[in-house]
Structure 1
Amino acid sequence: MKKLIPIGIILGIIILAAIFYVTLPILSFNFLQLPLLLIAIATVIFVSTIANVKSKADIGILQKITGGILGVLVLYFIVSIVASSSIFTWKTKQVQLDLVEVATFDESVPNVDMANLVILDEDDARRTSEKLITEKDPSLGSLFQIGEGTLSVVKDKPYWIFPLEYRGIFKWLSNSGEIPGYLQVSATDFNDSQFIDYKFGVSPSGYLSDDLKRTIYLSYPNYGLTDYSFEVDDEGKGYWVVTAYTNETWTSTMKVVGTVIVDPVSKEIQFYNVGEQPIWVDRVFSMDTFDKQLSWYGRYINGWWNPSDEGKLVDTQGKGYVFKDDTLYFYTGMTSVGKDSATTGFVIYNPKNGEAKYNRISGSIETKAVGLMEELVQNAGYKASFPYLININGEATYFSTLKGNSGNVVGYAFASVQNYKAVAWGKSLREAQTEYSRVLLREGGNNALTAQSSDLNKAQGAISRIGILTDGYFIVKLVGDDTLYVVNSEQFPMISLSNEGDIVKISYLKDDAAEKIDALDFENTSIK
């Protein structure tokens, strides 16, 4: 019987080792995995050593020590669960979001640069990526799959980056270390996409030494890991960027401590504290982290015990992006717990450092704006994508692409956050923007462009040059006027009949930075 004791211990340890290898528990008392693992080990040893004890008199020092350790571990486990409860930790959770209120919308969201407006969402970019794979090599799709996309800034432009990943264990066995590259799809230009040849091996879908999580775990087993993003530097070299975190209150209240960057080719690993990461890294704080912090902020704004829900805030059940100063920000609207269709403001979140700005702007939530956009095109049956928040001449504005039944983009739409009547769409981005500016001026109310109505200039004169700028648009120059005016032929059909020498009147919104100005109104007085 005595020989069974070490055999039981050995078998138990082997089983625990297998569990350890598969689950990769975080080796820190700030997480529950380590106490659970130690409890399991102590239980195996205690049960094995106590198996042959027939009476209390036979209990030896080994049984007492293992029993005592097991008791302490169980006690710690229970205490940590209780102490991690929001009853005791709500204050720490509520201040996790580094939130600063700003009074002016322009301070957090700059005036939109239409050339850098994010118009492709992840679904659009993924469809483009699938096409790129087929064009590159039709057989690639059977060997590799498209991984999760990351919206990143590459050479001052926003791009969707999609790494290829192994398509299952058998494909990995035959292609270990042979992932052929990644896909780079512009978020602002439908014609800018490419397959980047970049052979690497480490991936979340890899196994053994090609398993990304396992690769990091061997060096940093004491951190929680999340947000496995594939980003590229300005030289086009790809890296896995992973958020490392711990828990601030016993085993709860996630706190980001840094970033682990893995070279998927050499398997070299570097750890950077928050704020010390390379400049090309776009995401240190993940969207999930933002979501948790925002939830804690709104839930505990007036303490843990708040049965009347006084002052409680929640996000508007959707997250978007803001592109500002070569940086991609997360954003969401905030509304009261009552789930009405109005915002109390917007939170703009910097994923590089976790800083957030809060604009107290009341208006429609994103889903309300989507509904207003789709009402404009209900006869065509177009659907609006989840909107991005942009700034048009000081007006807080939602921007969405409109998609047909095939999922392809067929138009664009703008909706004012504050003025429910200010909604416009167009088949082209320029057409939609011009119509939106016209609607804002017409509707008046609380929109920012109303204050600029005095700046609505009127140009009158003879046409010196006229030509086609692009499909549906003419470009006009007047005698003695260096400004180039862009006129939409669908909105102003008379432009198609205009010739050099015709006397015309053009209304436009002043924009000193623009090389070409869109006409908000056009009249040819020479045509009777």
Structure 2
Amino acid sequence: MANDHEDLFRLLRMMGMPVPEDRDGDDAIPVDAVIGDADDTEGDDKKGTSASSGSGGGKRRSSRGPRGHAGGDLLDRLAQWSKRALIVACIVLVVVLAASYWWFHPALNLQSPQVWSWILGIAAVAAFALKVLSMRSTKHEVLLRRLIIVPIAVIAAFVVGVVAGFPFIPGNAERYATVLETTDGDFAEDIQEVDYADVPVIDRASAILLGARAMGSIPEYVSQFEISDAYSQINYQGRPVRVSPLIYADLFKWFSNRESGIPAYVLVDMVTQEAEVVRLDEPIKYSESEPLARNVDRYVQLKYPTYMFDQKSFELDEGGTPWWVYPVQRRTIGLFEGTTIQRVVLVNACTGETADYAVEDVPTWVDRAYPSDLIIQQYNWSGAYVNGWLNSWLGQRDVVRTTRGTDGELGYNYLAQGEDIYLYSGVSSVTADSSNVGFILVNQRTGESHFYPVAGATEDSAMASAEGELQNLRYQATFPLLLNVAGQPTYFMAMKDDAGLVKMYAMLNVEHYQNVATGSTVAACQDSYLQMLAADGTLSDEQAEASGVQQRVEGKIATIAQAVIDGNSHFYVTLEGSSDIYDFALPDLLSIVRYRVGDQIAFTCTAEEAPTADGSQEDEDATAVAEDVGAALVRPVTAIEQ
């Protein structure tokens, strides 16, 4: 009987039936049970419930049995493979995330948009995966559906954080208006009178041109390095300069020079227009052109992983050591808005040494703790929301903004005062395009901001006026620099030719911008401008005398001659004991007609040389006077004392 059972088991196994192994004792399976199973299987086949006829169908049917030996092995293998695949996938994911973090180095800060782009991506993938798993698993469907709430909540938190930064949210308009605290100032008192030995006469574009020429004079550098686009304007040893490091020309040049580093930086003096390539005793190892670990952006971000850095600048300390200056952002409104500067990190470009300062403790040689674009944005917030959000677009009472600039660029320039650099920009009403209501000066190291209410021309209007004065030469004006000249806010511009070279200079008063003074040198332009201010009455007699452009003269008239020049009448007067000729122009100085030779007279005049009599004169006496005095100085008279 046992042999019959064995034969039957062998037959069933050959047919693919799930027959257990033979066992002795109490655990042995009764024959009737096995036969019964076989009968049930055969009955199912007869009913058409098997997958297909033949042994293949029998195998597929048996593999679905929960306790079958063959099916159990297959399920075990699948379960083990899934676990291994899950582990491998997790490892790959971690490696990819770590490599991505190292390469892209986002700030690990919940106020960083880049971090939120990663969080939202992960949350979206997690929500999708949980949804799919809940559809495939009936056992854990409820739990998986509940877990979907987690990524959805993350996405909802992001939306709430973004909306919380909108200016129409109650209280936000006031917060925007006070991110940059601006106070009114007195221009004549706050801003030192200009020293023309320290006036920067070139702009960034001209500095780039001069730097490229200086670089071209060193062949061994030109073949390996280029000049960075940084060209930061700083005060270096009391001089306004622009400075920019060299960078590797390409990846192959980096590979060839990475051990020796970058040997120099370019320094352009904005007053003398001299450019030089400054060689370093210790080369720059941490730069923006490094592709790997010494890339300065990656280096500083990985060292301070939670800091959100703003636009960096390249600066020099007073010893000439190059540093990278990294302002650290802080958001004050909602999740991403109300940006201001909280700290500053300094990175030694040669050694990689770092220093972390609160913004109020930054060393005085640092000039750019607050980036220019951020200052403009902060002031425009205060100008827009000074009277609330609704007024910013509906009534627009007292709504102002900074100068729009030219060629799509923001309109600002820099003013050097003492050890600091101040950002200057005009301020105009949002409803006016041709005039300014004042201007701002913001200390880029401390963030101290002052508004000066001086109505006058916009910068682009001033540039057009200066270009019109020299329209026959077709010179182009640089963006104006704001100067204090004899207590007067004054636009100063360099006039460049088509090659980008500075040829002349122009000055005009911010309030009275119709008249333009020009000169081939800064000193000549200054003299012409001061005389123009004295002539039109902008300067008082005391201011004119203090500035040296006017002098009081008193004496007895030796000769008087009348002439007509360009259709205007002039009286030319000489005094006893002096060879100078004094020009009294009519009709402004009509009272000169009352004076005769031998009369005592007192008047004020300038030191500018006026046009002398020439062949077009109609009065022979004036010609005789001009011939007698030869090359004597002709000085225009501005006022006659009664």
Q: Determine if the TM-score, normalized by the shorter chain, exceeds 0.5.
A: yes
> In the TM superposition, what is the alpha-carbon distance from 1:85 to its structure 2 partner?
1.5
Which of structures 1 and 2 has the larger relative contact order (alpha carbons within 8 angstroms, sep 6+)?
Answer: 1
1:495 paired residue number: none
> In the TM superposition, what is the alpha-carbon distance from 1:357 to its structure 2 partner?
0.7
Change over 3 Å in CA distance of 1:451–1:358 after alignment to 2: farther
> In the TM superposition, what is the alpha-carbon distance from 1:415 to its structure 2 partner?
0.9
**Counterpart contact for 1:322–1:331, Cα < 8 Å:** yes
- The answer to whether 1:220 aligns with 2:313 is no
1:83 paired residue number: 164
Which residue identity is paired with 2:580? V
> In the TM superposition, what is the alpha-carbon distance from 1:451 to its structure 2 partner?
6.6
- The answer to whether 1:357 aligns with 2:450 is yes
> In the TM superposition, what is the alpha-carbon distance from 1:51 to its structure 2 partner?
5.2
- The answer to whether 1:187 aligns with 2:263 is no
* Matched-pair identity in %: 25
1:479-528: CA deviations, max 9, x gaps? xxxxxxxxxxxxxxxxxxxxxx9733689xxxxxxxxxx93357998616
State the TM-score, normalizing by the size of structure 1. 0.83
- SS of 1:120's equivalent? coil
1:294-344: CA deviations, max 9, x gaps? 110111121111213222101112101112223221010100002321110
Structure 2 distance, partners of 1:215, 1:14, is: 20
> In the TM superposition, what is the alpha-carbon distance from 1:454 to its structure 2 partner?
6.8
> In the TM superposition, what is the alpha-carbon distance from 1:28 to its structure 2 partner?
1.4
State the TM-score, normalizing by the size of structure 2. 0.69
- The answer to whether 1:131 aligns with 2:213 is yes
Residue segments in structure 2 that go unaligned for 5+ positions in a row: 1-77, 405-410, 556-576, 584-605, 613-624, 631-642
- The answer to whether 1:155 aligns with 2:234 is no
> In the TM superposition, what is the alpha-carbon distance from 1:190 to its structure 2 partner?
2.1
> In the TM superposition, what is the alpha-carbon distance from 1:155 to its structure 2 partner?
1.0
314, 321, 325: which one aligns with 2:401: 314
2:480 paired residue number: 387
Which residue identity is paired with 2:510? V
Q: How many residues align?
A: 475
Structure 2 distance, partners of 1:152, 1:35, is: 35
2:191 paired residue number: 109
Structure 1 distance, partners of 2:554, 2:265, is: 53
> In the TM superposition, what is the alpha-carbon distance from 1:418 to its structure 2 partner?
0.5
Which residue identity is paired with 1:233? D
> In the TM superposition, what is the alpha-carbon distance from 1:145 to its structure 2 partner?
3.1
Structure 2 distance, partners of 1:382, 1:233, is: 37
Aligned 1:419-434 pairs, distance under 5 A: 419-434=512-527
1:204 paired residue number: 288
Change over 3 Å in CA distance of 1:184–1:15 after alignment to 2: same
498, 502, 518: which one aligns with 1:405: 498
Structure 2 distance, partners of 1:261, 1:158, is: 21
80, 96, 112: which one aligns with 2:179: 96
Which residue identity is paired with 1:452? Q
414, 417, 427: which one aligns with 2:507: 414
Structure 1 distance, partners of 2:250, 2:309, is: 22
> In the TM superposition, what is the alpha-carbon distance from 1:7 to its structure 2 partner?
4.0
- SS of 1:259's equivalent? strand
Change over 3 Å in CA distance of 1:438–1:400 after alignment to 2: same
1:52-87: CA deviations, max 9, x gaps? 5524432486x4785343233112111111112122
Residue segments in structure 1 that go unaligned for 5+ positions in a row: 462-500, 508-517
**Counterpart contact for 1:342–1:364, Cα < 8 Å:** yes
Structure 2 distance, partners of 1:398, 1:153, is: 21
Aligned 1:224-303 pairs, distance under 5 A: 224-249=308-333, 250-303=335-388
Structure 1 distance, partners of 2:142, 2:485, is: 79
**Counterpart contact for 2:420–2:444, Cα < 8 Å:** no
- SS of 2:303's equivalent? coil
> In the TM superposition, what is the alpha-carbon distance from 1:348 to its structure 2 partner?
0.5
1:70 paired residue number: 151
- Cα RMSD between the aligned structures? 2.7
Structure (1 or 2) with the greater strand fraction = 1
Which residue identity is paired with 1:315? T
Change over 3 Å in CA distance of 1:326–1:268 after alignment to 2: closer
- SS of 1:190's equivalent? coil
- The answer to whether 1:519 aligns with 2:607 is yes
- SS of 1:20's equivalent? helix
Which residue identity is paired with 2:398? G
354-363 vs 108-117, greater mean Cα deviation? 108-117
Which residue identity is paired with 2:534? L
Structure (1 or 2) with the greater helix fraction = 2
1:183-241: CA deviations, max 9, x gaps? 111111124x3211121121122211121111111121222212221111111111111
Which residue identity is paired with 1:313? V
> In the TM superposition, what is the alpha-carbon distance from 1:364 to its structure 2 partner?
0.4
